[in-house]
Chain A
Amino acid sequence: MTTYEILQHYWWFLISLLGGLLTFLLFVQGGQSMLFSLSRTEDEKRLLVNVLGRKWEFTYTTLVVFGGAFFASFPLFYSTSFGGAYWVWIIILFAFTIQAFSYEFQSKPGNVYGKTTYRTLLFINGLLGTFLIGVAVATFFTGSDFTVGKGNITNLASPVISRWGSEWHGLEALLCPRNIFLGLTVFFLARTQAILFFINRIKHEVLEKRSHKFLLYNSIPFVIFFLAFVISIFLSEGFAVDADGIVYMEKYKYFTNLVEMPVIGVLFVLGVLAVLFGIIASIVDYNFRKGIWFSGVGTVVTVTMLLLITGYNNTAFYPSTADLQSSLTIYNASSSEFTLKAMSWASILVPIVVTYIFIAWRALEKKKTDIEDINSDHHAY
């Protein structure tokens, strides 16, 4: 491997890791999607909003960093996918934009639209944000309708590099069942993790009891859709790349990738087991509170490994169904060696970032939160 290839692999790993972290942190969205079902009284709603409200910035920032890092390390993906699957991304962005002010405004006097409006916006964010991110990421396995012609820039009348085939600009992905499977997987996973988070964080008898019920209702569809997605992609053809950079269809490509990269394969299995352990242990043992940590770490690992198998081992991570040779690989879509190297130096500071996030998180989370804590907090939502 050349230095450039190592850097391309390193940045695909970082993107995959950010994707894993983002999927874990989507528990905030999952919790928001249950504001009108899990919590019924005003105190219950307030408690959920406030425990989630201390975490929403992390999810939001991770999404922004995920976008920025993708732009910087694989700009051809950024230009092709965001400019092409326009409507999917715009709806996702819209869903997150409405989240950003809804926490801060909902309990402030003079907020014009009323508390319920802001909570409805949080619900919409929870619903669309999780589902559509799942659908968008599923196209990494199932492909999208685009072509790329870098030389088009010399066409004075129509200098467009990336063109999208479908006039639905990304919404056509909703017609593919496998994309829907992943969308629903992410949605139910986010809800499942949110419940585990509530079990861990909230001190409220009724909510704790109801959370355990909800855990069962949400984890079962999560497991079903996850299995449906994983089995379908493992049994289907994948987008492989040969030594000359020619993209072709290969049977069981994604499953083969797991086998041919045993470390990734083993971690994938361990990740899945950790998620299942977190869920099952919390269902079986009412007093088990650490499910979120097993499930969270498991989610990060599983999603990271899933994303790695779309880019590593000669695989096209953003395949084109319109023109196989337009498919994006970590080689043809990446930034230059110099840029990847410069950003890699900056990424050395990431452990410092992780450390201070950990310290800050710990400082605020020394004990479980109850309604008294919220009522006595000057800045509570």
Chain B
Amino acid sequence: MELLDISLVNWSRGQFALTAMYHWLFVPLTLGVGVIMAIMETIYYKTGKEEWKKITKFWMTLFGVNFACGVATGIILEFQFGTNWSNYSWFVGDIFGAPLAIEGMLAFFLEATFISIMFFGWNKVSKGFHLTSTWLLVLGATFSALWILVANAWMQYPVGMEFNPDTARNEMIDFWAILSSPVAMNKFLHTVFSGWIMGALFVVGVSAWFVLKKRDMNFALKSLKIGAIFGVVATILIIATGDGSAYHVAQKQPMKLAAMEGLYEGKEGANIVAMGLLNPDKEYDNEEETFLVKMDVPVPKLLSLLGYRKADAFVPGIKDIIDGYTLSDGTVVPSFEDKQASGRVAIQAFNDYRVAKAAGNDSLAAVHRITLNENYANFGYGYLEHPSELIPNVALVFYSFHFMVALGILFLVLFAALWFFQWKGKLDKVPWLLWIAIFTIPLGYLAGELGWVVSEVGRQPWVIQDIMPTKIAVSSVSVQSVKITFFLFLTLFSALLVAEIKVMIKQIKKGVE
């Protein structure tokens, strides 16, 4: 690759998105069903009732099938940072690599070790040892999510680092700032809770099928009760962390927020769109209406309130972010053109610094370093050519966000209704609700995927916010190679998914043994 090849960038993005989306079909169930089966085994440990052991084993079998698929897709994700994003791996590897290594050392081994005990240790270790192993497995899976989400959050909001022109990379200077970044903590909790919801949807959906079939009723009703209660708790928690996510996006990634809300023209006291149909002809530099149809949430100024904690706060739109704007607190945010110019000064100063250093002219190098440091915050803008590059795919982000939120509300209502009818002992009187529970399982997967679309498509054009555009992070491989591997993985993962679904269905139909 001699010149920057956009086709290569897009295929590399496609391959990563493909792997990540398949991976995310399996991980949420691991996180959610993991906790639920651990709760069930705890009840077995406490009560000593054999029925709870059978219930636990039923969900464990499904957990195992799903877990294997998550492991299979996970390894590709880790190594793709190197195979397809080699510039990225050097430019920020000093920071990004550490969470991945710690994830492997401390979380993956926890999972690998205790999953063996969980599956093969029923008759070989004590009940207490077995229960501890199950919880340690769940802890390992959750820890694993923590570290990778810390790394991901850092891409959205890079903190705790500085650029070193001698090594041509960003270097970590504050590990705790990275680990305890508010974006990281919120992202971790939000993502784990979304996994809990998926687990709960799966458990109530499968249990609902048994209730409808009037099979293994004791197992089904007990599972459904735990799933519904767990689901209500998880949904409430995800609403709380969702608010935190929106707040952080508003502060750190205003372009993403503008895309999520289809907001082209900023305003004070902005509303949240409840639902809307975007005008496909709308561009940031024309006067077309943004929406063909739109309805706001009937709480005025909610976007300003949630994003800035002030009802009259100014929320910048896409056009403002390109042209520059002033926040309600007086902070002036420069235009794209200004940031682009500053970014190019930074890149030139970096080049000049290296030339001066190579020539042994340390005093001149020091001057260039100062210039570089002064402009480094806009370093990534120097690689962008046109303001339109700054805008993510608005339609994809907007619709993904709104569908995700709508699905979240549906889940809360569903869990609450199931819990209510189960508590009243009238589940058999509401078969329609049980059918909804079954058909909501795929919607849970959809909601999780949409969340990632909002997060990652909304981050574009950046791989590291403001510092590194995605297009310069890519490896120097031929586009043909990436196309081949894309289809190779697509075939493999699709074949895997088909097998997984069939195995799951068979296992479910077998019922409790």
Inter-chain contact B477/A86, CB cutoff 8 Å: yes
Q: Would you list which residues of chain B between 113 and 149 have a CB under 8 Å from chain A?
A: 113-117, 119-122, 124-125, 129, 133
With both chains docked as a complex, state the minimum distance between the C-beta of B226 and any C-beta of chain A, in angstroms.
22
| Residues in A neighbouring B74, C-beta threshold 8 A | 64
* B interface majority secondary structure: helix
Inter-chain contact B485/A159, CB cutoff 8 Å: no
Inter-chain contact B4/A158, CB cutoff 8 Å: yes
Bound-complex Cα distance A202 to B100 (A): 36
| Residues in A neighbouring B452, C-beta threshold 8 A | none
Inter-chain contact B502/A75, CB cutoff 8 Å: no
A89 with B82, Cβ < 8 A, contacts A78-B89, A108-B506, A379-B61 known: yes
| Residues in B neighbouring A158, C-beta threshold 8 A | 1-4
For A80, give its contact among B86, B91, B496 (CB under 8 Å). Answer: B86
Q: Would you list which residues of chain A between 254 and 309 have a CB under 8 Å from chain B?
A: none
Which of A26-34, A192-200, A239-247, A347-355 is near enough to bind chain B?
A347-355
Q: Name the CB-closest residue of B to A146.
A: B476
Inter-chain contact A112/B79, CB cutoff 8 Å: no
Bound-complex Cα distance A79 to B88 (A): 8
A323 adjacent to chain B (CB < 8 Å): no
Which of A2-10, A66-74, A137-145, A209-217 is near enough to bind chain B?
A66-74
Q: Name the CB-closest residue of B to A341.
A: B175
Inter-chain contact A93/B79, CB cutoff 8 Å: yes
User: What class of interface size applies to chain B in its complex with A?
Assistant: 35 or more
Inter-chain contact B112/A57, CB cutoff 8 Å: yes
With both chains docked as a complex, state the minimum distance between the C-beta of A380 and any C-beta of chain B, in angstroms.
8
For B87, give its contact among A79, A112, A336, A356 (CB under 8 Å). Answer: A79
A360 adjacent to chain B (CB < 8 Å): yes
B367 adjacent to chain A (CB < 8 Å): no
B269 adjacent to chain A (CB < 8 Å): no
Inter-chain contact B102/A360, CB cutoff 8 Å: no
Inter-chain contact B503/A110, CB cutoff 8 Å: yes
A157 with B125, Cβ < 8 A, contacts A338-B171, A339-B172 known: no
Inter-chain contact A65/B472, CB cutoff 8 Å: no
Bound-complex Cα distance A151 to B347 (A): 10
Which of B64-72, B279-287, B299-307, B421-429 is near enough to bind chain A?
B64-72
For B108, give its contact among A65, A86, A363 (CB under 8 Å). Answer: A65
Which of A99-107, A176-184, A224-232 is near enough to bind chain B?
A99-107
Inter-chain contact B171/A357, CB cutoff 8 Å: no
Inter-chain contact B492/A94, CB cutoff 8 Å: yes
A61 adjacent to chain B (CB < 8 Å): yes
A68 with B69, Cβ < 8 A, contacts A339-B98, A342-B175 known: no
| Residues in A neighbouring B101, C-beta threshold 8 A | 65, 68-69, 71-73, 343, 346
Q: Would you list which residues of chain B between 34 and 64 have a CB under 8 Å from chain A?
A: 57, 61, 64
| Residues in A neighbouring B274, C-beta threshold 8 A | none
| Residues in B neighbouring A364, C-beta threshold 8 A | 116-117, 120-121, 124
A154 adjacent to chain B (CB < 8 Å): yes
Bound-complex Cα distance A64 to B87 (A): 21
Inter-chain contact B1/A81, CB cutoff 8 Å: no
| Residues in A neighbouring B86, C-beta threshold 8 A | 78-80, 82-84, 160-162
Bound-complex Cα distance A158 to B8 (A): 13
| Contact digits for A92-128, partner B, Cβ 8 Å, 1 yes 0 no | 0110111111011100111111000000000000000
Inter-chain contact B125/A363, CB cutoff 8 Å: yes
Inter-chain contact A379/B119, CB cutoff 8 Å: yes
Bound-complex Cα distance A335 to B101 (A): 12
For B488, give its contact among A64, A94, A353 (CB under 8 Å). Answer: A94
Inter-chain contact A112/B82, CB cutoff 8 Å: no
Q: Would you list which residues of chain B between 465 and 490 have a CB under 8 Å from chain A?
A: 472, 475-478, 481, 485, 488
B498 adjacent to chain A (CB < 8 Å): yes
| Residues in A neighbouring B89, C-beta threshold 8 A | 71, 75, 78-79, 82-83
Bound-complex Cα distance A109 to B88 (A): 43
With both chains docked as a complex, state the minimum distance between the C-beta of B450 and any C-beta of chain A, in angstroms.
26
| Residues in B neighbouring A150, C-beta threshold 8 A | 90, 167-169
| Residues in B neighbouring A100, C-beta threshold 8 A | 68-69, 71-72, 75
B435 adjacent to chain A (CB < 8 Å): no
Bound-complex Cα distance A150 to B89 (A): 12
Bound-complex Cα distance A378 to B60 (A): 11
Bound-complex Cα distance A158 to B68 (A): 40
With both chains docked as a complex, state the minimum distance between the C-beta of B306 and any C-beta of chain A, in angstroms.
35
Inter-chain contact A79/B93, CB cutoff 8 Å: yes
With both chains docked as a complex, state the minimum distance between the C-beta of A43 and any C-beta of chain B, in angstroms.
19
Inter-chain contact A160/B79, CB cutoff 8 Å: no
| Residues in A neighbouring B488, C-beta threshold 8 A | 90, 94
Q: Name the CB-closest residue of A to B506.
A: A110
A83 with B57, Cβ < 8 A, contacts A163-B476, A164-B476, A353-B105 known: no
B234 adjacent to chain A (CB < 8 Å): no
With both chains docked as a complex, state the minimum distance between the C-beta of B474 and any C-beta of chain A, in angstroms.
8
With both chains docked as a complex, state the minimum distance between the C-beta of A51 and any C-beta of chain B, in angstroms.
11
Inter-chain contact A157/B4, CB cutoff 8 Å: yes
| Residues in B neighbouring A94, C-beta threshold 8 A | 488, 492
Bound-complex Cα distance A176 to B180 (A): 48
With both chains docked as a complex, state the minimum distance between the C-beta of A367 and any C-beta of chain B, in angstroms.
10
| Residues in A neighbouring B133, C-beta threshold 8 A | 360
A75 with B116, Cβ < 8 A, contacts A68-B78, A97-B72, A160-B476 known: no
Inter-chain contact B113/A82, CB cutoff 8 Å: no
Interface-central residue, A80, A151, A162, by most chain B CB under 10 Å: A151
Inter-chain contact B97/A72, CB cutoff 8 Å: yes
A1 adjacent to chain B (CB < 8 Å): no
| Contact digits for B155-196, partner A, Cβ 8 Å, 1 yes 0 no | 000000000100111011101000000000000000000000
A204 adjacent to chain B (CB < 8 Å): no
Q: Name the CB-closest residue of A to B502.
A: A110
Inter-chain contact A79/B102, CB cutoff 8 Å: no
Q: Name the CB-closest residue of A to B352.
A: A154
Inter-chain contact B97/A60, CB cutoff 8 Å: no
Interface-central residue, A73, A89, A338, A349, by most chain B CB under 10 Å: A338
With both chains docked as a complex, state the minimum distance between the C-beta of A5 and any C-beta of chain B, in angstroms.
15
| Residues in A neighbouring B76, C-beta threshold 8 A | 93, 97
| Residues in B neighbouring A45, C-beta threshold 8 A | none
Bound-complex Cα distance A350 to B108 (A): 12
| Residues in B neighbouring A87, C-beta threshold 8 A | 481
A101 with B75, Cβ < 8 A, contacts A65-B104, A110-B503 known: no
B153 adjacent to chain A (CB < 8 Å): no
A-B contact pairs, 20 of them (CB 8 A): A57-B112, A57-B115, A65-B108, A78-B97, A82-B83, A84-B86, A86-B83, A93-B79, A109-B507, A151-B351, A153-B168, A154-B351, A158-B1, A162-B476, A169-B477, A342-B172, A346-B102, A346-B105, A353-B110, A379-B119
- Sorted nearest first, the 3 A-B pairs with minimum C-beta distance are A83-B86, A82-B82, A75-B93
Q: Which residues of B contact A (CB under 8 A)?
A: 1-4, 57, 61, 64-65, 67-69, 71-76, 78-79, 81-91, 93-98, 100-106, 108-117, 119-122, 124-125, 129, 133, 164, 167-169, 171-173, 175, 347-348, 350-351, 354, 382-383, 472, 475-478, 481, 485, 488, 492, 495-496, 498-500, 502-503, 505-507, 510, 513
Given contacts A75-B93, A98-B492, 9 further A-B contacts (CB under 8 A): A54-B116, A69-B101, A71-B81, A100-B68, A108-B503, A162-B86, A339-B94, A342-B175, A379-B64
